[in-house]
Structure 1
């Protein structure tokens, strides 16, 4: 999935580019509206992530110009907390979704995937690992048919692991999916989250294993027919 990130804050942009790439997206970065317009004219994108406070042009002006020339690429706008006026104007100009800063990476990815599915008319996909099911539209996990109740960090960790079910994810990558990019939390805190998850998965056909030198992996103990 190719995504254009329009964000002038360098630290935020670098973190998002790195995190999106690790999650399987192919991100291009534009630090201002002029660069975004150039990239949009040269390539096709599945979605655009757009900050509104750009150095050369307001994001809503860029959005309006996109829609005026017939560009229907789904646009997710990043807004300040509680910026109702921006949301209303954005909807009127053709924005597809909004996400308030600060935000969780997991929510950004889920919203992006939902935007692209809607634009392509696709059915809502589900991810499976044994009896564990993740519905990426409702963002709910179920285990043996029952809803699995998770804290936000447990949810973020399990969502990251199920997207790579059967393949290991290294510790630093998993940490970046669970904790905020500016968090002062020790990387070892991910062990606490995984310990709690293992307890909630205990007794089922799904487990989280440590792969020495490679990280952590979600695997199913059941044998497919």
Structure 2
């Protein structure tokens, strides 16, 4: 998934980015509030991790602008302010969740997972499609009793396709979610990842169909075609 981190402390930002990328997310970073606000006007993200105290424009103003445009992207607010009034103000401004600094990265990751599931209407961490089981918390995929070895980017691709189950996802949409601004991706990178994913999943309850000149469509396979 595509995540934007807005944080002006370089050491913390570096640690957060490494955690997000290790989980397979395409993560971008802005340290300046006004630059982040401009970026959010023109680019879509699946999650925004937003510090309150920022240079030139604070996080609450960025959040207010985001919601005023009707943008419902999940937002996790980060702040060193621990007062209940600050938490209430952040949530009332449109934040989806709030985390006070310093925080445990395990909790940070759990909150991010929960927020990323929400737009897809997925309340639980484990999604089952036929014989396929997708555990977003453990980032583990099983086909029947066998655990599939999926690198982070293939797992993220699977999340993107399953999140739009039954609907076409364009190559442009996949690229926007799968790759950050600093990632190098060749013109055939998406086709390559899709091909690898297909081979590993087989016909275990999920089909990934190519929609020519558009993108891909993931759908549940008929039970007769799924693995027994």
TM-score of the two chains, using structure 1 as the length reference: 0.58
1:205–1:187 distance in 2 versus 1, CA, 3 Å: same
Contact kept in structure 1, 2:134 and 2:142, CA below 8 Å: yes
Kindly indicate whether residue 170 of structure 2 is the aligned counterpart of residue 170 of structure 1.
yes
Residue 75 of structure 1: which of 98, 101, 106 is its match?
Answer: 98
Alpha-carbon distance between aligned partners in 2 of 1:123 and 1:98, rounded to the nearest angstrom: 18
Residue in 2 that maps onto 1:194: 194
Q: Does 1:110 align with 2:113?
A: yes
- 1:39 is aligned to 2:64: yes
CA distance 1:34–1:148, change in 2 (3 Å): closer
Task: Tell me if the contact between 1:130 and 1:205 (Cα under 8 Å) persists in the aligned partners.
Answer: yes
CA change 1:220–1:98 in 2 (3 A) is: closer
Task: For 1:163 and 1:38, locate their aligned partners in 2 and report how far apart those are by CA, in whole Å.
Answer: 25
* Pairwise CA RMSD: 4.6
**Does the alignment pair 1:18 with 2:43?**
yes
Instruction: Measure, in 1, the Cα distance between the counterparts of 2:154 and 2:41.
Output: 21
Q: CA deviation at 1:38?
A: 8.1
Contact preservation (8 Å) 1:206, 1:219: yes
Give the direction of change, closer, same or farther, for the CA distance of 1:37–1:19 in structure 2 (3 Å limit).
closer
Query: C-alpha separation between the residues in 2 aligned to 1:11 and 1:34?
Result: 9
Q: C-alpha distance in 2, partners of 1:194/1:39?
A: 37
Structure 1: segments with no counterpart, 5+ residues: 52-58, 78-88, 100-106, 117-121
Partner of residue 76, structure 2: 49
- Count of residue pairs brought into register by the alignment: 180
The reply on whether 1:90 has 2:85 as its aligned counterpart is: no
Q: Which runs of 4+ in 1 moved over 6 A?
A: 25-31
Shift of 1:97: 4.3
Give the CA deviation at 1:48: 3.7
- Using CA pairs below 8 Å that are at least 6 residues apart, which structure has the higher relative contact order? 2
- 1:85 match: none
Instruction: Measure the CA separation in 2 of the matches of 1:26 and 1:90.
Output: 18
CA distance in structure 2 between the aligned counterparts of 1:137 and 1:220, rounded to whole angstroms: 22
- 1:127 maps to 127
